[in-house]
Structure 1
Amino acid sequence: MAKVRLSIKGLLLASAALLFSGCTTVYKPLGWVISSYSKDEVVPYAMAHPDADVSVCGTGQGLTQLVGSFGRVVKDPNYTLFYTELLTGFCAENKAYEANLRYLRAEQQDQITIARDELMLAKRWHAIAAERRVRAVDFVTARYGDIGNETCPNLFKESDEITYMLGLVTALQAVRSDLLSGAQVGVNRDLAARTMRSSHCLDNEKWWGTPQAIRSTVWAFVPGTLPDNKDLWQNYQAADEIAKQHDALFPLVLHAIGADNQGKDAQVRKALKLAGDVQQRLNSDEHQFPAIYQLVNAISHDQLRQMSDAIWMEQKGHRSPPNSLDKFPDEAQRAPADIDGLL
């Protein structure tokens, strides 16, 4: 009996030591497990998930603080934190676009006070999106080095390549979000300019024309960066052709936001019409886009639909109808005339 009591006492002492040892014994192993699991399992699972809303405002906001807290006791949670902040940035941007749609509706109905309030709210959410995207860029540069370095980072795996590419686009989006916020955050446009050099570290054909679209978007965002021997819209068109071959919407988003920044409505519509063609293939079983990156196309579709919604809201007071990325209210398709009775 004494031996049993002694064993129980020893177990209690060991348990107490385990608890009071804190991060040395408990938190570090747990931190490594959570960080490794998030990197190896959560990120690939989210990337292959077709529901953007679940991943953007669910996974992003749900994991950011949990994974980030373990950065206090383990090294290099940067890979996962880049993705969580990337997703939270899209979540904030979605809220900004929703406020902007309400602003357009109120403006159309001459509800001036409501319109002004919604516009201020949209700018507030764009500022939050910019802040989150800057943090995401900080995490990706902590892992791969500064954007715009003279040498390319070591991208050993395909997962490193797409992460780096998404990091470059996030840098562009951080600049754009700040511009839409009224420069509340003060993101330097040089951040966008630096992505040009780094975009050459990625294979343009393999990644759906996105690196070429990145360069075009820098030219659209930053005055004085367009080379004399380049045509902005021809460069976008070349990227669009590759994107269409791969059934990828991502480069078309860059085309649309670059055109929007330039105030080129015809080019915005061109990108949306191409996206409508791609979306039709994505709805079939014939598309070429890899299933492991479904989330990239899902988020891209939502961004393009938001731009389509803005056109419809401004002209008709409601969002775009289903499956109408390539249709606009002032370009309504006429039904063929019934001439049977005339023959």
Structure 2
Amino acid sequence: MTSRITRLLTSTALAISAMTMGGCALIESNVSGTTLSILEDGFTPPTLQTRDVEMACSFATVNGPLVGAARNFYGDPSLMEAVLMSSAGVCSENQAITEEMRYMRAAREKRADEAQDARIAQKRVLAVAAERQYTAFYRMRTKMEQKYFIKYGSECPRFKRDFDELVYLLGSVAGLQAMQNDISAQQTVGVPTDTAPLVEKALKCLDNTKWWGAPNAARAAIWSIIPGGAEGKDVKGTFDTSMKIGEAAGVRLAHVMAAVAAQSVDDKAAVRETIKRFTANKDFKANPEYRLIDAIAQSQMVNVSDRMWTQATGTRTPIGSLGKFWDEKAGGDVDADSFLK
């Protein structure tokens, strides 16, 4: 009954808005709507088929505000904004990793001023990442609640198209990332701390197999970071199943979530195991429809590996050595330290 009343009120409001809107506004609204449809249905699929993470990252950073300006022309760019802001958050996270590694090198060399400066810079960039990611989450959540007449985290949308499901997934994961990054940035953005449990509930609405094991992997990551969240849960089994699904589907996003979750609890052995698994299948082929998502996953796994290598040796992961480590034997009797020479 409540849902019907909500639909009736929404329809009435739209009708009144249409009757009171001027001719120019109607034209602007139609143009904005058509443009956004072209972006969602015509531009996004080919973009997802590319592997150039840096280009996608730069595109999102530059064009996010431009797409958002569609509101000035009576359009609703929320879904595209969620995609772009989520991607732009990747740019900021990459910058934050660079600053963190600068901090590690300075600390190794006992350069206190440089280390302190790097840590401050890292937190600033993490705050930018959190801001972008929370914007992605907020836009997705608001639009889904309006479009499908649901309460995010309490009810599941009856999705009308795959694009909406993809945005729901990316926006939800962005919300989780926003909370983690804001905590690391001393909560300068103010991302609500109940975002993670809300996302955990919401991700139940997605088909785990259809979306490469990512929904359940994200849920398992949340179980890992919330105190007491892992009680009664098969976290390792959930990650393992989700990674198998991702490997078969050609999108290894679940691996990133497993690695980040292990990293958050300082389980170095699990982080290593996950990185090795990511690179183990030499015949792996990325899903051609979502090649960019897998490329982003790979760049994030490189970040995780770079952090470990820098902490131990002062340098990033050597070229072609993702899945290998400084204290292992490479090719029988050759020490992995030779990678650094």
Structure 1: distance between partners of 2:24 and 2:116 = 50
Per the TM alignment, residue 25 of structure 1 is displaced from its structure 2 partner at its CA by: 7.5
Q: Does 1:281 align with 2:283?
A: yes
Per-residue deviation, residues 178-207 of structure 1 (Å, max 9, x unmatched): 122122223223111112222221111222
- The one-letter code of the counterpart of 1:104 is M
Question: 1:53 aligns to what?
Answer: 54
Question: 2:45 aligns to what?
Answer: 44
Verify the 8 A CA contact 1:50 1:294 in the aligned structure 2.
yes
Question: 1:259 aligns to what?
Answer: 262
SS of residue matched to 1:281? coil
SS of residue matched to 2:262? helix
The gaps in structure 2 that reach 5 residues or longer are 1-21, 335-341
Per the TM alignment, residue 326 of structure 1 is displaced from its structure 2 partner at its CA by: 1.0
- The one-letter code of the counterpart of 1:259 is A
- Judged with a 3 Å threshold, the aligned counterparts in structure 2 of structure 1 residues 22 and 314 are, in CA distance, closer, same or farther, namely farther
Q: CA RMSD in A?
A: 2.1
- Judged with a 3 Å threshold, the aligned counterparts in structure 2 of structure 1 residues 147 and 89 are, in CA distance, closer, same or farther, namely farther
Q: Which has the larger radius of gyration?
A: 1
Per-residue deviation, residues 7-31 of structure 1 (Å, max 9, x unmatched): xxxxxxxxxxxxxx99537744543
Verify the 8 A CA contact 1:127 1:185 in the aligned structure 2.
yes
Per the TM alignment, residue 324 of structure 1 is displaced from its structure 2 partner at its CA by: 2.1
Question: 1:109 aligns to what?
Answer: 109
Structure 1: distance between partners of 2:151 and 2:133 = 14
Verify the 8 A CA contact 1:43 1:83 in the aligned structure 2.
no
Structure 2: distance between partners of 1:81 and 1:270 = 35
- Judged with a 3 Å threshold, the aligned counterparts in structure 2 of structure 1 residues 334 and 208 are, in CA distance, closer, same or farther, namely same
Aligned length: 309
- Superposed, 1:32-111 pairs within 5 Å as 32-56=33-57, 58-111=58-111
Structure 2: distance between partners of 1:204 and 1:109 = 46
Verify the 8 A CA contact 1:147 1:194 in the aligned structure 2.
no
Verify the 8 A CA contact 1:240 1:251 in the aligned structure 2.
yes
Q: Does 1:299 align with 2:296?
A: yes
Question: 1:5 aligns to what?
Answer: none
- Judged with a 3 Å threshold, the aligned counterparts in structure 2 of structure 1 residues 186 and 281 are, in CA distance, closer, same or farther, namely farther
Question: 1:128 aligns to what?
Answer: 128
Structure 1: distance between partners of 2:198 and 2:298 = 26
Verify the 8 A CA contact 1:50 1:295 in the aligned structure 2.
yes
The gaps in structure 1 that reach 5 residues or longer are 1-20, 338-343
Question: 1:243 aligns to what?
Answer: 246
- Judged with a 3 Å threshold, the aligned counterparts in structure 2 of structure 1 residues 238 and 141 are, in CA distance, closer, same or farther, namely same
SS of residue matched to 2:205? coil
TM score, norm. by length of structure 1: 0.84
Per the TM alignment, residue 294 of structure 1 is displaced from its structure 2 partner at its CA by: 0.9
- Judged with a 3 Å threshold, the aligned counterparts in structure 2 of structure 1 residues 147 and 60 are, in CA distance, closer, same or farther, namely farther
Indicate which of 305, 318, 334 corresponds to 2:315.
318
Deviates more, 1:130-139 or 1:190-199: 190-199
Question: 1:11 aligns to what?
Answer: none
Per-residue deviation, residues 27-82 of structure 1 (Å, max 9, x unmatched): 445433432222222222222221000001x2111211111111122232111111
| Residue identity (%) | 28
- Judged with a 3 Å threshold, the aligned counterparts in structure 2 of structure 1 residues 176 and 332 are, in CA distance, closer, same or farther, namely farther
Per-residue deviation, residues 121-164 of structure 1 (Å, max 9, x unmatched): 01110111001111001111122127743221121222222221
TM score, norm. by length of structure 2: 0.84
Per the TM alignment, residue 306 of structure 1 is displaced from its structure 2 partner at its CA by: 0.6
